[in-house]
Amino acid sequence: MTRINVGDSRTLVPVSTILTTDERLRVDAAGQGLYRTLHRDSVDDVLRDLKSHQIGAILFSVSRCRAHDVSRVGKLVREFPNVPAVALLTDLQRSTPQAVLALGQCGVQTLIDVRDPSGWRELRNVVLSEPKTSIQRMAIAMVAGNLGSAPEDCRQFFLSLFLSSTRISTVRMLARLLQVLPSTLMSRFFRAALPAPKRYLAMARLTRAANLFENPGLSVANVANQLDYSSPQSFGRHVRTLLRMTAVEFRERYDGEGMLERFREELIAPHVARLRVFSPLATPPGWIANRSQVMEQH
């Protein structure tokens, strides 16, 4: 398996911020090697981040909260409910109580006071809590509940479908991540009379898409881009081929949990007896001691 260097800025959790100059420096220092900051000057800039990247959290400075921004912050929080929104308090000013109240009223539910050193630890915990998305939490629970007695490499195959980079879009790329030849991986599934790895990967990508669509602020084009489809049209063809519906119908019908349940019903439940004795990888058990080796947030 190709190991991802967790210290590489390209693999760190991206955090979009609206902070003061001093707060930017302090937030950067607190998260060095743990997350990467995208410092922005407006709510519109943060919105662009959310549409083009899978953002781990949004940080709003209490000191930079302005009355004319409150309604736009509220709209952003409502359109991206799966992205933690955090108000950061670094000092007390006359306007602080009103700013904190305004941010709370527009949906920012987490306030972190970093005037106390423990606040920085709390900030890191909020940003780095694993896994980052609800679909990842549910996928881990699904694998544990349905395949808990399966060989380690079988369970890791399924986890990699949901925990690896969204850029893993082909069996060849998945096989490279798992350190097995694509032909070997496909032939092992064929010999075990299981669905092809391509189908598992395709359905997992749609499960991730359904989870992203839970954020009303994301369009079909945004989701297609974040999941590395070549175009919205390509994503639409993918949905129609697998599910016999349009992308719009897919969005209306499935959330992440519903699509994960369909994945389980179609691709795990009918084959669970074989999967519990199936070993698809050439690498020994325990090859993935840390999930961060396969996760790459964007």
**Pairwise CA distance, residues 33 & 9, whole Å:** 8
Q: Any bridge partners for residue 18, and if so which? A: 60
Question: Whole-prediction pTM value?
Answer: 0.78
Q: Each residue of 43-59: pLDDT tens digit? A: 999 999 999 888 889 99
Q: Is the pLDDT of residue 264 over 50?
A: yes
Taking the CA atoms of residue 7, residue 12, residue 15 and residue 19 in that order, the dihedral angle to the nearest 10 degrees is: 10
Look at residue 27 in the predicted model and tell me its pLDDT.
94
Q: Is the dihedral angle over the CA atoms 129, 131, 134, 137 positive or is it negative?
A: negative
User: Rounded to whole angstroms, how far apart are CA atoms 279 and 153?
Assistant: 6
Taking only the tens place, the pLDDT of each residue in 105-117 is 888 989 999 998 8
pLDDT value, residue 7: 36
pLDDT: is 284 or 35 the higher one? Answer: 35
Q: Give me the sheet containing 85-89, strands edge to edge.
A: 35-39, 13-18, 57-61, 85-89, 110-113
More confident residue, 284 or 125: 125
Mean pLDDT to the nearest integer, 255-279: 95
Name residue, tokens 């409910």. Answer: 81
pLDDT of residue 255 exceeding 80, the answer is yes
Radius of gyration of the chain (CA): 21
Contact predicate 30/120, CB 8 Å: yes
User: What is the model's pLDDT at position 11?
Assistant: 63
Percent residues over pLDDT 70 in the chain:
89
CB of 51 closer than 8 Å to CB of 217 = yes
| Sign, CA torsion 242/195/181/261 | positive
**pLDDT for residue 10 is more than 50:** no
Does pLDDT of 234 surpass 90? yes
pLDDT at 131 over 70: no
- Given 3-state DSSP classes, what are the helix, strand and coil percentages for the chain, each rounded to the nearest 5? 55, 10, 35
- Write the burial class of residue 73 (CB in 10 Å: 0-12 exposed, 13-18 middle, 19+ buried): buried
Instruction: Say yes or no to pLDDT of 93 above 80.
Output: yes
Domains detected in the chain:
9-128 (3.40.50.2300), 134-293 (no CATH)
Q: What is the mean pLDDT of the chain?
A: 87
